[in-house]
Chain A
């Protein structure tokens, strides 16, 4: 999740409901996907990253898109079956109060966006990436039957992530403590109904809280006043998700990468696979099925640089230290503060994808040794039980 879109001109950036708070907290604001967003606060990316893994970090992710899909009679199964025409996950089988990761595909099996889908009992709620949210909404309106209502939610989205997130949020919404990873509940916070999911984009336990704009700032302030909670910018959000092996839309996955190549087939449940009751039926399903059967040409893998120099997105990958053509590309890379060294991921030929393979990535004209490895780089802290 999360999109990679930098370089917006200042001046016509949209502001989230927490913009004033970011400025008051010393946030360094940059244009990101059309929004004025904090890339870091005074502590800096390294300390913000480590704080999130040790305690709790608060992230403003209000730039992301929030959509609701429903039918006039509140039949969530009907809405789910309609959505399954656009995504490969088992949505109809998603229990009430549960959430699941999936992606919109195109006819070539490429990924148009990745998203979270939650079953709220009488409707589905979707969280999509900021840079793609208008396109996603148009895609849903154009391709879902007329009987399915698509609504955009104008709400703030606050992520509270880290091992102390539960203790912090439970002071305001005690019922959050009983939730497990990927549960979704509508909880009363400060007299308003908020949609809370136990999920995130850091590899840590934590929550994403969809809140009415009116209480976004008071809620963020109340959380930030707690000893364990610090504000965290998009810089640390990126290093946290990279260590957790999570894809960044626009960098690690896009409309030219298939779920098979991206190693995201874990998000396609049995019922949607060959032999399942609702196999296929989404755009590009034939391409995905064929790749799954024959094996893809390339695969997304973890890449561990053997030296100390970070290897960043865009670096070409070679099979040998000199000569030869590039065989792959790094799609995300940087320094992993918790891992304690450089970390990266990218695409390599499937025959070279096995963990432990020695390859080379070109950085400033030099080929540096990297090793293919399993993802994630750090053990997740999800509350599964």
Chain B
């Protein structure tokens, strides 16, 4: 199940765990990333709470947890090479995996069509 947030994160939920990243639209808006800071494995995150930081040449931006849970795994590859987020934001450029606090929480997030409408309205 692929879901999106209005803060331009995507998450793919399988077996109670969500893989989280930023959308292609967000990656394009941010520009070339030069630094990524990821949460520690085992950290509990609140829905909408700060989970990661990305920095472009110009500015730093927060990445929020789209859902409550516990960080189960992080993608060290994007820390080593932040450009992966720009080249493959919705694939190899994933950020972290969250073990969901409650399995149904993702249902209320945006589906792909709703997210596409949202970014079309923004631009």
Write the residues of chain A forming the contact surface with B, with a CB cutoff of 8 angstroms. 39-40, 44-47, 49, 235-236, 238-239, 308-310, 312, 334-335, 337, 342, 364
Contact = CB atoms under 8 A, between A and B. Distances in A.
Nearest to A236: B57
Contact of A47 (B32, B53, B59): B32
B58 A334 contact: yes
Nearest to A238: B58
B41 to A, nearest CB: 18
B82 to A, nearest CB: 9
7 contacts: A44-B32, A45-B32, A45-B56, A309-B55, A312-B59, A334-B57, A335-B34
Contacts of B58: 39, 45, 235, 238-239, 334
B119 interface: no
Contacts of A40: 31
Contacts of B55: 309-310, 335
Contact of A46 (B31, B35, B53, B60): B31
Given A238-B58, A239-B57, A310 B32 contact: no
Contacts of A334: 57-58
Contacts of A312: 59-60
Interface centre among A40, A49, A239, A309, by most chain B C-beta atoms within 10 angstroms, is A309
For the residues of B in contact with A, the DSSP-based class is strand
Among A39, A44, A49, the most chain B Cβ lie within 10 Å of the Cβ of: A44
A45 B57 contact: yes
B31 A364 contact: no
B80 to A, nearest CB: 10
Contact of A235 (B35, B37, B53, B57): B57
Interface in B24-60: 31-32, 34-35, 37, 53, 55-60
Contacts of B32: 44-47
A312 B59 CA distance: 8
Nearest to B37: A309
Nearest to A48: B57
Could you say which of B35, B56, B58 has the most chain A C-beta atoms within 10 Å of its C-beta?
B58
B28 to A, nearest CB: 9
Contacts of B35: 308-310, 335, 342
Interface string B88-113: 00000000000000000000000000
A348 to B, nearest CB: 22
A291 B35 CA distance: 40
Contacts of A239: 57-58
Given A44-B32, A310-B34, A335 B60 contact: no
Nearest to A310: B55
Contact of A337 (B53, B57, B60): B57
Contacts of B60: 310, 312
A46 B57 contact: yes
Contacts of B59: 312
A49 B31 CA distance: 13
